A and B are shown apart, each in its own frame.
Chain A
Amino acid sequence: MEGELNALVIGCGRVGSAIALQLHQEGWDVTVVDENEDALSRLGESWPGTFIVGHGMDADLLRTAGIEEADAVVVATDGDNTNIIIGQVAQKRFDVRCVVVRVLDPARAKFYAERGLNTVCPTSVAIDRLMDAARTCAIPATAPEETEEVVG
């Protein structure tokens, strides 16, 4: 197992569990933390990684989960503020170099991104993608006619 990368995933909802499974498939050693024991079922029948029941704000629990040896920490609980605090604790207290934090509110995601926290905002991503989709839908209906007019 030497040389294997360690990942800690906090929050095992739809996002956290999918990330944990993918990282595991890519060869990472993955530890998952969630407050709710039932969340383990999201990781399938035979999760080979570690699963710890507890709150990510608990520094002792983070140590037990191996945060001091973690190469990457992904924080994706259902609470923006909880994620932001846990992310900062991982970064500033435990010196984890790669910390990624899910923040649904674009305003808070931007503010903390400016302060050096690697935030990912699904809301902003959704807005961008929906806007792109809406724009590309509009093009075939109007653009060819305009082009013909210009050429003609």
Chain B
Amino acid sequence: MYAIVAGGGKIGANVTRSLLQMGNEVTLIEQKRDRFEALEDEFEHQVQRGDATELFVLERAGIARPPDVVLALTGDDEDNMIIGQIAREKYGVPKVIGRVNDPRNQPHFDLLGISPTICATSSVMALVEHEVPEHDLIHLLELRGENLEIVEVQIDGDSPSAGRSIEALSLPEGSRLISVMRGGHAEIAVGSTVLEAGDQVLAILEPGKEDELRRVLLRR
């Protein structure tokens, strides 16, 4: 696989090292002179100096081949979006991965079709939500391309769904229960599965259906 990595900070440098160790061909692009020189000691000809939003810099790195994947990992969201757009739309790079530095810029990445994205802040927040739940409905995974998300719901003794079978619940349109975790074991949820207090239920649903699902399962 051939990959171009834009941005040689901590993330870009570590990703480059890992990709090389896996036997891939990689070109890393870094703009800052001091950072570039440090990277050059380790990566030699596999790092190039330049602004990865400049077309000639990308072309020098071989974007016209095109690479199998471009990773836009700079510390600047605007740059990452531009790199992603140019890679995909001008050079037909089949896969682009964008780093989101400021989670408030996520909608801009979505608007411009830069997907998948990775955002450290959002990942940390999702972990915090999962490990220290303040909510009865936890977001586990967002499938942006599919416009679906997977959530976890904790059923307790007061929940109207406790003691009822799934087929007897009127789940909102655009939602399904996937599995039920009980006593350390998970089972695929089927119509005849009866929910109990203490169950952890995984559900897949369209974004925006959380409140309806919460009402049916938890009446909250």
| Interface residue ranges, A against B (CB under 8 Å) | 57-59, 79-82, 84-85, 88-89, 92-93, 105, 107-108, 111, 115
Which residues of B are found within 8 Å of A79, using beta-carbon distances?
A: 78
Which residues of A are found within 8 Å of B104, using beta-carbon distances?
A: 57-59
Can you list 25 A-B pairs, Cβ within 8 angstroms, ordered by A?
A57-B105, A57-B108, A58-B104, A59-B104, A79-B78, A80-B53, A81-B53, A81-B76, A81-B79, A82-B78, A84-B82, A85-B78, A85-B82, A88-B111, A89-B111, A92-B111, A93-B111, A105-B54, A107-B55, A108-B53, A108-B54, A108-B55, A111-B55, A111-B90, A115-B89
By beta carbon, the residue of chain B nearest A82 is B78
Tell me the residues in window 136-151 of chain B with beta carbons closer than 8 Å to chain A beta carbons: none
- In the complex, which of the residues B76, B81, B86 contacts A111, with contact meaning CB atoms closer than 8 Å? B86
Shortest CB-to-CB span from A68 to chain B, Å, is 15
Which residues of B are found within 8 Å of A111, using beta-carbon distances?
A: 55, 86, 90
By beta carbon, the residue of chain B nearest A105 is B54
Complex Cα distance, B111 from A57, in Å, reads 13
By beta carbon, the residue of chain A nearest B107 is A59
By beta carbon, the residue of chain A nearest B83 is A81
- In the complex, which of the residues B55, B77, B86, B112 contacts A57, with contact meaning CB atoms closer than 8 Å? B77
- In the complex, which of the residues A80, A85, A105 contacts B108, with contact meaning CB atoms closer than 8 Å? A85
- Residue of A58, A85, A105, A108 with highest tally of chain B CB at under 10 A: A85
Tell me the residues in window 26-46 of chain B with beta carbons closer than 8 Å to chain A beta carbons: none
Chain A interface SS verdict (over half): helix
| Interface residue ranges, B against A (CB under 8 Å) | 53-56, 76-79, 81-82, 86, 89-90, 104-105, 107-108, 111-112
Shortest CB-to-CB span from B110 to chain A, Å, is 10
- With A59-B107, A111-B55, A111-B86 as known contacts, state yes or no: A88 contacts B78, CB within 8 Å: no
Which residues of B are found within 8 Å of A115, using beta-carbon distances?
A: 89
Which residues of B are found within 8 Å of A107, using beta-carbon distances?
A: 54-56
Which residues of B are found within 8 Å of A92, using beta-carbon distances?
A: 111-112
Complex Cα distance, B165 from A17, in Å, reads 66
Cross-chain contact B111 with A108 (CB below 8 angstroms): no
Complex Cα distance, B53 from A108, in Å, reads 8
Cross-chain contact B112 with A88 (CB below 8 angstroms): yes
Complex Cα distance, B111 from A82, in Å, reads 15
Closest 8 CB pairs of A and B: A81-B78, A107-B55, A81-B82, A82-B78, A85-B78, A81-B79, A93-B111, A81-B53
Shortest CB-to-CB span from A22 to chain B, Å, is 27
